[in-house]
């Protein structure tokens, strides 16, 4: 088995520059093809590298008896059937910090854009209009930002918000007093955070516990003048409830990058004037894509060569 060539299937679009460690390895053959459409026999695949577009079901895993590792070039592993992977002895690794900064920056850009109606105002000028009155906004200064899920991204976002002189409060069952103090945020429970905040942004993974966490009942606790942001994962916020809350004036607006079902073409939320939307691009920067691809490439290569996986 010394000279055995490993087959690595890269199923989603990602930075080829970042994948150099596997591409340049003499032991590895890299194939860039969607796992559902590839002409490569699935029995030959030793490693699968994905982003968020490929859903790795139990069925796919079972069709790859030689599969040893799934590398997720990004953070969320909600698109992988983890139980099926474990049952089949397949290790799942991710790139937990490569896109932290890009995601925090995108979230902040969405926040700054939505309060000043920048996308709508830009659109109005492209359509030949000059509507100054329509686009009166709100200042961020002195307002309260509520961060739900205070991990790496939440913490980076908090420091950016503080630079804009905002108050930052956070809800996270794992957030300790000392970490909150270090990041100059106030710990609150979820309902208190929703009632207090002028802007609420979620930064949790999508799990059984967080699915539908921002429900119609919870949206009712928010101020009518508040905005809600989701640059984490579709499904954390109940989309239908959010649509109704904005339509009925229970909420002022929202900024959304991720959706319950993607691709989300012609999404109802995108049709609302008070909602700004982007197509799951928070991690789409040159830097983040290079980072995450490189991180999984190294992890996959090392694991195939017998080293234990670090981010399992
Ligand atoms: C992630 O989980 O890292 C993001 O959704 C980014 C991506 O899918 O590329």
How would you class 178 by CB atoms within 10 Å of its CB: exposed for 0-12, middle for 13-18, buried for 19 or more? exposed
Is the C-beta atom of 93 inside 6 A of ligand 1? Answer: no
Model ipTM?
A: 0.92
Query: Cis omega (within 30 of 0) on the bond before 263?
Result: yes
- For ligand 1, atom 3, the nearest C-alpha belongs to 74
Tens-place pLDDT, residues 64-97: 999 999 999 999 999 999 999 999 999 999 999 9
- For ligand 1, atom 8, the nearest C-alpha belongs to 52
Residue 310 vs residue 247, higher pLDDT: 247
Choosing from 156, 233, 250, 299, the catalytic residue is: 233
Is the C-beta atom of 99 inside 6 A of ligand 1? Answer: yes
H-type alpha helices, 53-165: 58-62, 82-87, 100-115, 118-126, 152-163
Asked if residues 218 and 194 have their Cβ atoms less than 8 Å apart, the reply is: yes
Task: Supply the mean pLDDT for the chain.
Answer: 96
Is the C-beta atom of 79 inside 6 A of ligand 1? Answer: no
Q: Is 16 part of the annotated catalytic residue set?
A: no
Please determine whether the domains at 6-98+287-304 and 100-277 fall in the same fold group of CATH: yes
Tens-place pLDDT, residues 184-229: 999 999 999 999 999 999 999 999 999 999 999 999 999 999 999 9
Give every strand in the sheet of 6-10, ordered side by side. 28-32, 6-10, 47-50, 69-72, 91-94
Query: Given 3.40.50.720, 3.40.50.1820, 3.30.360.10, 3.40.50.2300, which CATH number is that of 6-98+287-304?
Result: 3.40.50.720
Asked if the model's pLDDT at residue 2 lies above 70, the reply is no
Query: Given 3.30.930.10, 1.10.3720.10, 3.40.50.11310, 3.40.50.720, which CATH number is that of 100-277?
Result: 3.40.50.720
| pLDDT of the residue at 244 | 98
Contacts of 247-254 with CB under 8 Å at 24 or more apart are 247/272, 249/224, 250/219, 250/220, 250/222, 250/224, 251/219, 251/222, 251/224, 251/226, 251/227, 252/224, 252/225, 252/226, 252/227, 253/114, 253/227, 253/228, 254/114, 254/227, 254/228, 254/229, 254/230
pTM: 0.94
Is the C-beta atom of 76 inside 6 A of ligand 1? Answer: yes
Place 311 in a pLDDT band, splitting at 50, 70 and 90: low
Q: Is 280 part of the annotated catalytic residue set?
A: yes
- CA-to-CA distance for 131 and 143, rounded, in angstroms? 26
Is the C-beta atom of 14 inside 6 A of ligand 1? Answer: no
- CA-to-CA distance for 101 and 223, rounded, in angstroms? 29
Q: How close is the Cα of 75 to the center of ligand 1, in Å?
A: 6
Domain range summary for the chain, segments of one domain joined by +: 6-98+287-304, 100-277
Asked if residues 67 and 38 have their Cβ atoms less than 8 Å apart, the reply is: no
Choosing from 44, 105, 192, 262, the catalytic residue is: 262
Tens-place pLDDT, residues 3-39: 558 999 999 999 999 999 999 999 999 999 999 999 9
């Amino acid at each position: 088995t010394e000279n055995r060539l490993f087959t690595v299937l890269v199923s989603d679009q990602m930075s080829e520059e970042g994948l150099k460690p596997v591409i340049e390895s003499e032991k590895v053959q890299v194939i860039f093809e969607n796992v559902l459409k590839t002409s490569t026999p699935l029995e030959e695949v030793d490693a699968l590298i994905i982003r968020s577009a490929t859903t790795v079901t139990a069925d796919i895993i079972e069709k790859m008896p030689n599969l040893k590792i799934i590398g997720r070039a990004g953070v969320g592993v909600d698109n992988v059937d983890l139980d099926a992977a474990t049952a089949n002895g397949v290790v799942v690794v991710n790139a937990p910090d490569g896109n932290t900064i890009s995601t925090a920056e995108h979230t902040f850009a969405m926040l700054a854009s939505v309060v000043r109606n920048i996308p709508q105002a830009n659109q109005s000028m492209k359509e030949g209009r000059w509507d100054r009155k329509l686009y009166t906004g709100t200042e961020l200064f002195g307002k309260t930002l509520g961060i739900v899920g205070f991990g790496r991204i939440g913490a980076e976002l908090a420091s950016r918000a503080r630079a804009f002189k905002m108050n930052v409060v956070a809800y996270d069952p794992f957030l300790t007093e000392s970490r909150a103090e270090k990041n100059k945020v106030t710990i609150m429970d979820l309902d208190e955070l929703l009632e207090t905040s002028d802007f609420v942004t979620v930064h949790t993974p999508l799990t059984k516990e967080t699915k539908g966490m921002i429900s119609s009942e919870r949206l009712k606790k928010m101020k009518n003048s508040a905005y809600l942001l989701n640059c984490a994962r579709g499904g954390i916020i109940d989309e239908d409830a959010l649509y109704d809350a904005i339509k009925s004036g229970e909420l002022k607006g929202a900024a959304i990058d991720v959706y319950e079902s993607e691709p989300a073409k012609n999404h109802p939320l995108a049709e609302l004037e008070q909602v700004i939307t982007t197509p799951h691009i928070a991690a789409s920067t040159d830097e983040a894509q290079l980072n995450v691809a490189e991180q999984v490439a190294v992890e996959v290569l090392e694991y195939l060569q017998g080293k234990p996986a670090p981010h399992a």
